Amino acid sequence: MSEKMNIVTVNDGRTLYPGASAPENREYNMFIGPNHPGIEGNFALKLTLEGDTIVQARTDAGYLHRGFEKLMEQRLYMQNIAIVPRICVPDPDPNEENYARAIEAIAHIEVPRRAQFIRVMMLELSRIASHLFAFGGFAGTLGLYTMPNWSISDRDRILELFEALTGARIYHIYIIPGGVRRDLPEGFAQRVKDTLFYIESKLPEYDNLLFENSIIRKRSRGIGVIPPEKAMEWGVTGPNLRAAGFAHDVRIDDPYEVYNELEFDIPIAHESDALARMLVRRKEVEESIRIIRQVLDKMPSGPVWNKQPNPLKWKVPAGDAYVRTESSKGEYAYYMVSNGDVRPYRVHVRGASVTHGVHVLEKLLIGTRIEDASQVMFSLDACPPEVDR
Amino acid sequence: MSVLSIVVWIIAYPLIIFCIGVLLGGYERKFSARVERRIGPSWIQPFYDVIKLMSKKTNVSHGYMHDVAILMLLGGTMLTLYFVPVPGFSYFSQFGDFLVISYLLLIPSLGMALGVGETANPNGSIGISRALQMLAGYEVPFILTFIGVAMKEQTTSMLDIIRVQQAGGFWAWGLIAHPLLGVAALIALQGMLNEKPFEVIVAPHEIATGPMTEMGGKYLGIMFIQHLIAVPLELTLYINLFLGGASNWLEYLVKLFVLWTALISVNMVFGRFRVDSAVKFMWKISLPLAALGVIGIMLNIA
């Protein structure tokens, strides 16, 4: 009896849902996230719908704001190495790469050849891991839950490689100014080759299950189209831009490390829809495997780190640098300013996710039906912590 | 059948079917886990889920209609159950044929619509509108397949249809004797069970589990119980119409699990349709197959 008395009756008298507008207005509000199976990370979408169709979309970021950029101004250069990978969890290495290269550019530090090859290997492994994650997320939005389990368990094999090399599965803190933290352990190259062979052998299974799945293709074709004429204007980069027909890739256009010594293709598509974006990523996995194999074959012997001064007292000379990397999310850049102190004066992170996950997503969602909102978001493959940075 | 045994059956039958539903639910979770390279939970995990949900204190209600409609959801399913014959229990089947069953099958959907509509959550409302659209999609071909079977066997009694199939042996099974109807009903059954590619009602990534969004505690527990009874109920319907029914419980369970394995295998390798595509598929594939089957029976060629 006492339990019954405590029951609160909500919505008494059948009032409208709190998010609904007046009855004469056919629009109502809906939220996807921050607590929703269809949201990508700590993020939310505030949608206004008419029937099933989205008429207005606002992204709601900030749930993961930890003030990385400001934090970096308070810490020593070496301490920041542990902060930067946290800016993008699925693909952390481009952050380490950019941060290290920015310091190297300002301080004119030369990186040993072997370290450059190792860095490329790390970046490409990270790209594959990130794409595998994206395949799973995208398939999940369309109800194909077998795919996330497969691709994320395969991604785990790459995380095991990271663990063997760096001691950490996600935040490697491995690429440091002047090179990399340690050399490859014995037998590691063979482990990488075996893992690549395994992942390559799984790609036809992915094709059968996801990329050639008639229902998936039907549902994602023509959805979330980025108009090619608008792609540049909107600042789209990476696989999302290449799916719109532009063969733009920082690894080719502005090569860093040893990418100019390696042979690889830039997969592109022209449809610019959700399916095309995922297919470009699918082909990029093959290209990354190709790159890593070349790296392992061509990797010279030698030191992996150009030793730097005592990190507690290290003052990077005054100057500034803008460096960019092709990450799995798109073009990833750091602008660093040093005033000659032991701490950076300013580190600005230009991630691809603000563009894709906020501005482009808000545009693409208008006119999209509610059932496709999640797949459009996952097809852009943004990274919420990177939006908040 | 004595009065006492009827009373015992009335009480025991839903419990037995619930237990079978728990095993089917656990099997589905174990099966999908193996396909997905996981270990999966215990075989009786659905039972633990129900116990947990039903032991929760109810703090929020959405009003009288919400409470009643949830009971209507479960009650409608249980009522339908009594008219579906299983080995050893077919007492009520003599009072209600397939037409009664098809009417009663609508009650749970309407109960869910009323209860979820009362919560006024847009995710729930969209889920309900999808459920009703899907109902229009699979109900017509499913009824049509039954009409075909009834025309062929000259009866609407499910008991008689089972008898005819069992008398004729394997080649008299509905799926073998009139394959078009069998396939059409199988597709409709996949939709009826809300399995992919027709899993548009719950669709977690789209509408945050739809009708279940606003349900919690005992309300969700009752929905779970209803689902665990509805799965064997709907599978049994198909077994009775197209797989020769069952003469004993072992045969019944084997057919149940084999059919369920086929349906959840499809579920594992497909994404979900958009709701309009799901209904279109039913009307473009399942319905014409059923119609062709009926025409075949009318022309005495199938």
Each residue's pLDDT tens digit, A343-358: 999 999 998 989 998 9
Whether residues B205 and A141 touch (CB distance < 8 A) is answered with yes
Instruction: Pull the structure tokens for residue A41.
Output: 């990370």
Each residue's pLDDT tens digit, A287-309: 999 999 999 999 999 998 888 88
Instruction: Pull the structure tokens for residue A16.
Output: 């409208």
Residue of A nearest to B205 (CA): A38
B274 touches chain A (CB under 8 A): yes
A2 touches chain B (CB under 8 A): no
B281 touches chain A (CB under 8 A): no
Residue of B nearest to A27 (CA): B122
The partner residue sitting opposite B199, judged by closest CB among A10, A11, A143, is A143
- Are the beta carbons of A303 and A114 closer than 8 angstroms? yes
Question: So what's the pLDDT on residue A2?
Answer: 43
With 90 as the cut, is the pLDDT of residue B262 above it?
Answer: yes
What is the average pLDDT value for chain A, to the nearest integer? 89
pLDDT band at A21 (very low <50, low <70, confident <90, very high): low
Q: What is the rounded average pLDDT of the residues B271-296?
A: 92
Classify strands A8-9 and B60-61 as parallel, antiparallel or unpaired. Answer: parallel
Question: So what's the pLDDT on residue A264?
Answer: 92
The partner residue sitting opposite A10, judged by closest CB among B57, B62, B206, is B62
In chain A, residues with a C-beta closer than 8 Å to the C-beta of B271 are: 139, 142-144, 213, 215-216, 219
Question: So what's the pLDDT on residue A1?
Answer: 40
**C-alpha closest to that of A273 among A220, A233, A212, A339:** A220
With 70 as the cut, is the pLDDT of residue A43 above it?
Answer: yes
Each residue's pLDDT tens digit, A104-118: 999 999 999 999 999
Q: What is the rounded average pLDDT of the residues B219-231?
A: 92
Closest chain B C-alpha to A315 CA, distance in angstroms: 49
In chain B, residues with a C-beta closer than 8 Å to the C-beta of A52 are: 126
Whether residues A150 and B119 touch (CB distance < 8 A) is answered with no
Question: So what's the pLDDT on residue B244?
Answer: 87
Instruction: Pull the structure tokens for residue B296.
Output: 């075949």
* Phi, psi of A55, deg, nearest 5: -105, -20
What ipTM, to 2 d.p.? 0.87
Q: What is the rounded average pLDDT of the residues A84-91?
A: 90
Domain boundaries, chain A: 79-311
Q: What is the rounded average pLDDT of the residues A251-276?
A: 92
Closest chain B C-alpha to A234 CA, distance in angstroms: 26
Question: So what's the pLDDT on residue A19?
Answer: 54
pLDDT band at A42 (very low <50, low <70, confident <90, very high): confident
Whether residues A8 and B60 touch (CB distance < 8 A) is answered with yes
Residue of B nearest to A13 (CA): B63
- The residues, any chain, with a CB within 8 Å of residue B168's CB and separated by 6 or more, are B177
Q: What is the rounded average pLDDT of the residues A360-365?
A: 92
Residue of A nearest to B58 (CA): A7
Question: So what's the pLDDT on residue B159?
Answer: 86
Instruction: Pull the structure tokens for residue B56.
Output: 């929760």
**C-alpha closest to that of A38 among B202, B265, B64, B6:** B202
A270 touches chain B (CB under 8 A): no
Instruction: Pull the structure tokens for residue A20.
Output: 């609904």
Instruction: Pull the structure tokens for residue B36.
Output: 């997905």
Q: What is the rounded average pLDDT of the residues B46-53?
A: 94
Question: So what's the pLDDT on residue A135?
Answer: 94
With 60 as the cut, is the pLDDT of residue A7 above it?
Answer: no
Strand partners of residue A57? A47
Question: So what's the pLDDT on residue A329?
Answer: 92
Question: So what's the pLDDT on residue A23?
Answer: 56
With 80 as the cut, is the pLDDT of residue B13 above it?
Answer: yes
Q: What is the rounded average pLDDT of the residues A318-324?
A: 94
Instruction: Pull the structure tokens for residue B10.
Output: 């009335």
Residue % of chain B over a pLDDT of 70: 99
CB contact burial A304-343 (16+ within 10 A = b; e otherwise): bbeebeeeeeeebeeeebebbbbbbbbbbbbbbbbeeebb
In chain A, residues with a C-beta closer than 8 Å to the C-beta of B32 are: 145-146
Each residue's pLDDT tens digit, A122-167: 999 999 999 999 999 999 999 999 999 999 999 999 999 999 999 9
Question: So what's the pLDDT on residue A98?
Answer: 95
Whether residues B204 and A149 touch (CB distance < 8 A) is answered with no
B284 touches chain A (CB under 8 A): no
Residue % of chain A over a pLDDT of 90: 71
Whether residues B205 and A142 touch (CB distance < 8 A) is answered with yes
Q: How many domains does chain B have?
A: 1
Whether residues A149 and B37 touch (CB distance < 8 A) is answered with yes
pLDDT band at B15 (very low <50, low <70, confident <90, very high): very high
Whether residues B122 and A28 touch (CB distance < 8 A) is answered with yes
Q: What is the rounded average pLDDT of the residues B227-253?
A: 91
Whether residues B207 and A370 touch (CB distance < 8 A) is answered with yes
Q: What is the rounded average pLDDT of the residues A359-367?
A: 91
Rounded-to-integer distance, Cα A19 and Cα A365, Å: 19
In chain A, residues with a C-beta closer than 8 Å to the C-beta of B123 are: 30
Residue of B nearest to A154 (CA): B37
pLDDT band at A209 (very low <50, low <70, confident <90, very high): very high
With 70 as the cut, is the pLDDT of residue A13 above it?
Answer: no
CA distances from B205 to A94, A274, B175, B277 (A): 29, 16, 36, 17
Beta-carbon pairs below 8 A across chains A and B? 111
Each residue's pLDDT tens digit, A159-207: 999 999 999 999 999 999 999 999 999 999 999 999 999 999 999 999 9
Interface of A with B in 210-249 (CB under 8 A): 213, 215-216, 218-219
Question: So what's the pLDDT on residue A3?
Answer: 47
Of 1.10.8.60, 1.10.645.10, 1.20.272.10, 3.30.930.10, the CATH number of A79-311 is 1.10.645.10
With 80 as the cut, is the pLDDT of residue A8 above it?
Answer: no
Classify strands A346-350 and A44-50 as parallel, antiparallel or unpaired. Answer: unpaired
Question: So what's the pLDDT on residue A336?
Answer: 94
pLDDT band at A67 (very low <50, low <70, confident <90, very high): confident
Whether residues A145 and B36 touch (CB distance < 8 A) is answered with yes
A146 touches chain B (CB under 8 A): yes
The partner residue sitting opposite A17, judged by closest CB among B122, B203, B273, is B122
Expressed as residue numbers, the domain containing B14 is 3-298
Q: What is the rounded average pLDDT of the residues B101-107?
A: 87
- Are the beta carbons of A89 and A383 closer than 8 angstroms? yes
With 90 as the cut, is the pLDDT of residue B63 above it?
Answer: no
Rounded-to-integer distance, Cα A306 and Cα A177, Å: 8
Whether residues B59 and A8 touch (CB distance < 8 A) is answered with yes
In chain B, residues with a C-beta closer than 8 Å to the C-beta of A216 are: 271
